[in-house]
Amino acid sequence: MNWTHLHLALNHVPVLGVPFATLLLAWGWGFRKPEVIRVAVLWTLGLAAASIAIKFTGDSAAGVDPARFVPVQYLLERHEKSADQATTAVFLWGLAAAVATWFGRGNRSVPRPALGALMALGIVTCVLLARTANLGGQISHPQIREAAALTAPGAKP
């Protein structure tokens, strides 16, 4: 197993985990289930920590066979910029989860503004991770690039 394989395997954790934790938080908040909210917040903390670490596997993956990426260098750069934005969002989401954990320590409820901030950041993070995953997929999957080109504004079939 090399860095590319590790990056491709591990990057699915935040791409799937962040929407799951966000939906779990929404469910707990909507049905007023403090134990579900607590689990969602703890998942958020774990996912944020893992996601930040996982981002750095991409830097190593790009260095495994740099000549392979020369034809798609522009895609690699777009993916890396998007990954930086998604990692920033994950960091802020995790920071908000840490604050929510602090306010909800003991038997106290997590305050509604903290839950609102977690939900908003969770949704933004989901969108940024989805964009990053799509751009990453375009690097090695030309069929995705072709579909994206056809749906781009001003594209001709």
Instruction: Parse the chain into domains and list their residue ranges.
Output: 3-151
Distance CA 30, CA 18 (A): 18
Residue 54's pLDDT is: 86
Residue 60's pLDDT is: 84
**Tens digit of pLDDT for each residue in 33-43?**
999 999 999 99
Token representation of residue 38:
């607590």
Residue 157's pLDDT is: 46
- What's the gap between Cα 99 and its chain centre? 20
Amino acid in the structure at residue 130: A
- What's the gap between Cα 136 and its chain centre? 12
* Inter-CA distances, 114 with 35, 60, 68, 100, 152, Å: 16, 35, 45, 6, 37
Residue 131's pLDDT is: 97
Residue 7's pLDDT is: 87
- Spell out, as residue ranges, where the chain has pLDDT lower than 70: 146-157
Residue 4's pLDDT is: 82
Distance CA 13, CA 29 (A): 23
156 three-class SS = coil
